[in-house]
Structure 1
Amino acid sequence: MSVLDWFKGDAPESNPAPEVASVDKLALYEKDWCPFCERVKSVIKELNLPIAKCDISQPEHLQALMQGGGQRMVPCLRIETAPQEYFWLYESADIIHYLRCHAEREHE
């Protein structure tokens, strides 16, 4: 089940969606040559969100992604849900949807 399903209300009670976090609690794990990463980065730029970017060609970022998210796949948005607790969101479409929801809440 994707985060999109959570936003549509199709998530089971045991798997709540992550709350929309403040921008300083977000980090995008990405790779320069990845077209899906470019798509996400263009939305970040469009929405003017100052999100930290972590290029997995740097060993420390790759290690953090593998230990936290469990997959080498990018893009991945790390969302801090509580101090030292993270939700790892994969799939560019899900990340973009999350960011657009974030931007809407910021403007409310």
Structure 2
Amino acid sequence: MMAETKAVAAAVEASPVEEGRSKTVVLVAVDDSDASYRALEWAVRHVAATAGMAGAGAVELVVLHAKPPTSLAVNMGGPGVPGDVVGLVEEDLRKKAEGVVGKARSLCAANSVT
């Protein structure tokens, strides 16, 4: 296996939503890798299919993306990195995170999952 960050998909049974009904929460972490988007696609299809089943109970999809801290990227540049570089790195990381979240939202919307 490669040393890249792997996608994680997990289903957790939560406390009852309404009396006699349970809620399933599906958590998918995305990191802009193909593997994480495949995991999200699988989860979206599962959530969409489950929502249409009689007696399935409530299903909630949670998509998680963690933007790396600026200090992690800047420290790779060595000591004495100018302040304007920190701002540029932060802006780049923010744009990358927005792109990941946007792609995840589009994938969900294309499958009628909010």
Classify the TM-score, shorter chain.
under 0.3
Q: TM-score, normalised by structure 1?
A: 0.26
Higher relative contact order (CA 8 A, sep 6+): 1
Larger Rg: 2
